[in-house]
A = this chain, B = another copy of it.
Amino acid sequence: MAQLSPSRRVRRTPFSDGVEAAGVKAYTVYNRMLLPTVFASPVEDYHHLKQAVQVWDVSCERQVQVKGPDALRLIQLLTPRDLSKLAPNRCLYIPVTDQGGGMLNDPVLIQAGPDTFWISIADSDLLMWVNAIAGCNDFNVQVTEPDVSPLGVQGPRADDLMAQVFGDRVRDLKFFGCDRFAFDGFDFLIARSGYSKQGGFEIYVEGSERGMPLWNTLFEAGKPLDVRAGGPNLMERIEGGLLSYGNDMTSANSPLECGLGKYVSASQLGSCFGGRALREEIEAGSKRMIRAIEIDGGEVPGCDRAWPLRAGGAAVGQVTSAAWSPDFATNVAIGMVDAGHWGAGSELEVETPQGARQARVRDGFWN
Partner of A26, one of B5, B30, B37, B244: B5
List, in ascending order, chain B residues with CB within 8 A of A10's CB. 28-29, 304
Partner of A302, one of B6, B104, B137: B6
Whether the pair A8, B126 counts as a contact (CB closer than 8 A) is no
| Separation of A17 and B27 alpha carbons in the complex (Å) | 22
Whether the pair B128, A247 counts as a contact (CB closer than 8 A) is no
User: If the complex has contacts A3-B25, A123-B32, A273-B135, are A8 and B247 also in contact, measured as CB distance less than 8 A?
Assistant: yes
Question: Does A305 interact with chain B (Cβ within 8 Å)?
Answer: yes
Whether the pair A37, B136 counts as a contact (CB closer than 8 A) is no
Binary per-residue interface labels of chain A (2-25) against chain B in the complex, 1 for a CB within 8 Å, 0 otherwise? 111111111010000000000011
The size of the chain A interface, using a CB distance under 8 A, is 49
Give A67 Cβ to nearest chain B Cβ, in Å. 15
Give A297 Cβ to nearest chain B Cβ, in Å. 20
Question: Does A125 interact with chain B (Cβ within 8 Å)?
Answer: yes
> From residue 95 to 140 of chain A, which have CB atoms closer than 8 A to chain B?
98-99, 104, 123-126, 128-129, 131-133, 135-137
Whether the pair A5, B27 counts as a contact (CB closer than 8 A) is yes
Partner of A247, one of B7, B104, B305: B7
Whether the pair B129, A131 counts as a contact (CB closer than 8 A) is yes
| Separation of A135 and B272 alpha carbons in the complex (Å) | 12
User: If the complex has contacts A2-B25, A4-B1, are A9 and B247 also in contact, measured as CB distance less than 8 A?
Assistant: yes
